[in-house]
A and B are shown apart, each in its own frame.
Chain A
Amino acid sequence: MIQTVVNTKADIRELPAALLPLREQILADLTMLAQIPAPTGQEEQRVRYVLDRFVEAGLPEVGPDEQGNAVGLLPGARGARTIMLVAHLDTIYPRTVNHNVTVEPDRVIGPGVGDNALGAAAISIIPLCLAHLGIQLESHLGLLGTVRSLGRSNHEGLRFFLDHPPRPIDCGIVVEGLQLGRANYLSIGKIRGDIVCDVCPEKLRSDGSQNALVVLNQVINRILSIAIPTRPYTKIRLAKMHAGLSYDSEPDHAELGFEVVSHSDEMIEQIRRSMNDAVAEMAAQHGVDAKLDCFFRRETGGIAFSHPLVKAILAVMAQLDIEPDLGRGPSELPELIGRRIPAVTLGISWGEKNQENEPDYVLVDPILTGLAQLLGVILEIDRGACDEP
């Protein structure tokens, strides 16, 4: 017999309170996951943690796939469709960073707590939440903690899983720790890359000394002169730079890391060509070697606003008094949508991440609302909200 306790709108509104007995367990998962260093390519311990949680929850299909992703399946009563929850397990923080987490009554503080220890904690605890609420889904619920998501890895773990799915996936939810209210059904276009400038050592130069930093500066000036439209939204981010070793020697090598985001793939391509021209012009100088390496590309895409999944999400958010922040956002969404799997990205709580002088943190109180939202959306999909074209 299928026991479903959440049937009405009133029930959705009561979910945060119903989840309250699990609060410390959610915070414990968040804390212990965040304290495991997981730079991209070194996620094994986090994968193990998530798999252990799946086993403890009694999932009958649990294990890493060939790429190292953490994969679990909570079978549905009928299994007519498969809903996939996805959270990336890697972080931008290297092992050398102190991953100590502090838990305060109103917030949890520590490197990567919001991006994406909280997302990983959410998919780890969802089976327990369903059991606690006495809910058995009609649909299969797939749970996926992905590896090799960030930076040059470019969602390698997720792409592998989607290219070799154990069963067809009907609908996807990408779970990010931050921010509660996001409902990204469109993905923003993006390229990321490095511009690398090398100059010949001084003694080999016939035309006097060159300086890689100066060459790179000329490239930057050219990039800054590229015309950026107000519409479609487009932005060039010059994000990181590396050059030089000491005060008394001019650098032979300089690197610039950048990304270009836009609502238009055409605009991204246009900017990429302009940047390439700027780099090529510098490289044409004697004794200068300059290269542009675009290692990451994501095209714009998404599902329509009129898609029933978007409507269902808005209805769930309204019941939980969550202010929706619709539209485009960075995440793994295009990997799913590109494979014709309707998908959205949802956030679990509010907080900050990647601030220069402030530690990452997530707020405690909204977490239960965020999980209630996730459960509400799963239930809507289970009832067929994603079935219509």
Chain B
Amino acid sequence: MNLDQWLTKRTFHHSAFWDRRWLAEEKARQGLTISLCLPAYNEEKTIGKEIVVYKSELHDRYGVVDEIAVIDSGSTDRTREIAASFGAQVYLAAEHLPQYEVHRGKGENLWKALYLLRGDIIVYVDADITNTHPRFVYGLLGPLIQDPEVHYVKAFYDRPLASSQGIRPTGGGRVTEILIRPLFSLFYPELTGIIQPLSGEYAGRRSILEQIPFPVGYGVETAMLIDIYGQLGLNGFAQTDLDVRVHRNQETPALGRMAFGVLRTFFARLTRDQKAQLHQELPTIMRQFTVAEGDFDHVEHVIEEVERPPMIEIPEYRQKYHPTPEPMVEV
């Protein structure tokens, strides 16, 4: 399947999967369990709404999703309390697998979700969506339930920005357009078919997610795409149009730091895949300037982009999900 064929065959609209009764029946027929993971850090404004809507529409009414969990990075607001009050499982990431050091970041939460949640399919949805709707989940699940060849589904959408003045119609996607898309065009041309490679919503089969490393920070989305592509090719992917996703705007300096983290992840894969050679180790310091009352302040941000190994390499995980049968003892 070439890129054009893939775009035609594997690009969906969420409305194709609106029939949650069918999704639940087909899921049961295939013997699948499905987990919904919301990685969170200080999301008290939106987490309650997300839990209520997803629990009602995907768990209570239809049983499409078997468990809903919030993996929290150590929120200092009421995120965990609110999520628990509406019936979500709540995990503080640092309390699990602590023997492997503690890191903080979205990728860390996604990685630990593989250990903590039991689903054959795991749906990851950011906890900061303001226009919460069940399509953010069933739109991603649909291709996986419909087609066994699909192992990973990525979201794309319009991205209006929420501001104090209401909703602005366009925005976002800046890092994608000026960084990711040029890099993919240069080094992984087939991945340019992914319309929004940095979207925070995706779903995958445990069988592939456990095989890939997880950067704990900004690079996790980019790494997932490249590493799953390395194992399955474009054929393992699908993508779904989720219409409009309203989110908070990020300031340009924050996007700069994000781009730095993504670049470190990207270069690590370029060298690993022998697509480029670096003659020195990349620095971990991102330098930015801030302007205050006419003065320039030089700010240094340490962005290490630690990577977690594939979960399948963690003994505790193997014991939980792939226990080795006890050897037969001859008497």
Please list the residues of chain A having a beta carbon within 8 angstroms of any beta carbon in chain B: 21-22, 24-25, 27-29, 31-32, 35, 56, 96-98, 100-105
Contact between A102 and B52 (Cβ–Cβ < 8 Å)? no
With A97-B166, A104-B82, A105-B82 known as contacts, the answer to whether A28 contacts B45 (CB < 8 A) is no
CB neighbours of A96 from chain B (8 A): 166
- 12 CB-based A-B contacts, threshold 8 Å: A21-B60, A25-B56, A27-B52, A28-B56, A31-B52, A31-B132, A98-B166, A103-B49, A103-B52, A104-B82, A105-B48, A105-B85
Question: How many angstroms from the CA of A32 to the CA of B132 in the assembled complex?
Answer: 8
Question: How many angstroms from the CA of A29 to the CA of B81 in the assembled complex?
Answer: 22
Contact between B57 and A28 (Cβ–Cβ < 8 Å)? yes
CB neighbours of A22 from chain B (8 A): 60
Contact between B53 and A32 (Cβ–Cβ < 8 Å)? yes
Size band of the B side of the interface?
20 to 34
Question: How many angstroms from the CA of A96 to the CA of B163 in the assembled complex?
Answer: 12
Besides A25-B61, A29-B56, A104-B44, 8 more A-B contacts (Cβ < 8 Å) are A24-B52, A31-B52, A35-B132, A56-B61, A96-B166, A98-B162, A100-B162, A104-B48
Q: Which of A21, A24, A35 contacts B86 (CB 8 A)?
A: A24
CB neighbours of A27 from chain B (8 A): 52, 56, 86
Please list the residues of chain B having a beta carbon within 8 angstroms of any beta carbon in chain A: 44-46, 48-49, 51-53, 55-57, 60-61, 78, 81-82, 85-87, 130-133, 162, 166-167, 246
A183 CB → nearest B CB, Å: 29
Question: How many angstroms from the CA of A25 to the CA of B133 in the assembled complex?
Answer: 13
CB neighbours of B85 from chain A (8 A): 105
With A24-B52, A27-B56, A31-B49 known as contacts, the answer to whether A100 contacts B86 (CB < 8 A) is no
Question: How many angstroms from the CA of A101 to the CA of B246 in the assembled complex?
Answer: 12
Question: How many angstroms from the CA of A100 to the CA of B244 in the assembled complex?
Answer: 13
CB neighbours of A98 from chain B (8 A): 162, 166-167
Q: Which residue of A lies closest to B85 (CB)?
A: A105
Question: How many angstroms from the CA of A103 to the CA of B86 in the assembled complex?
Answer: 10
B54 CB → nearest A CB, Å: 8
CB neighbours of B246 from chain A (8 A): 100
Q: Which residue of B lies closest to A25 (CB)?
A: B56
Contact between B131 and A35 (Cβ–Cβ < 8 Å)? yes
Contact between B49 and A101 (Cβ–Cβ < 8 Å)? yes
Q: Which of A28, A97, A100, A102 contacts B53 (CB 8 A)?
A: A28
CB neighbours of B131 from chain A (8 A): 35, 100
B64 CB → nearest A CB, Å: 14
Question: How many angstroms from the CA of A374 to the CA of B86 in the assembled complex?
Answer: 24
Q: Which residue of B lies closest to A97 (CB)?
A: B166
With A98-B162, A101-B49 known as contacts, the answer to whether A25 contacts B60 (CB < 8 A) is yes
B149 CB → nearest A CB, Å: 31
10 shortest interchain CB distances as A-B pairs: A28-B56, A103-B48, A105-B85, A103-B49, A25-B56, A27-B52, A24-B56, A24-B55, A100-B130, A98-B166
Q: Which residue of B lies closest to A31 (CB)?
A: B49
CB neighbours of B133 from chain A (8 A): 32
CB neighbours of B53 from chain A (8 A): 28, 31-32
CB neighbours of B166 from chain A (8 A): 96-98
A26 CB → nearest B CB, Å: 8
Q: Which residue of A lies closest to B86 (CB)?
A: A24
CB neighbours of B87 from chain A (8 A): 24
Question: How many angstroms from the CA of A339 to the CA of B107 in the assembled complex?
Answer: 63
Question: How many angstroms from the CA of A161 to the CA of B287 in the assembled complex?
Answer: 66
Q: Which residue of B lies closest to A98 (CB)?
A: B166
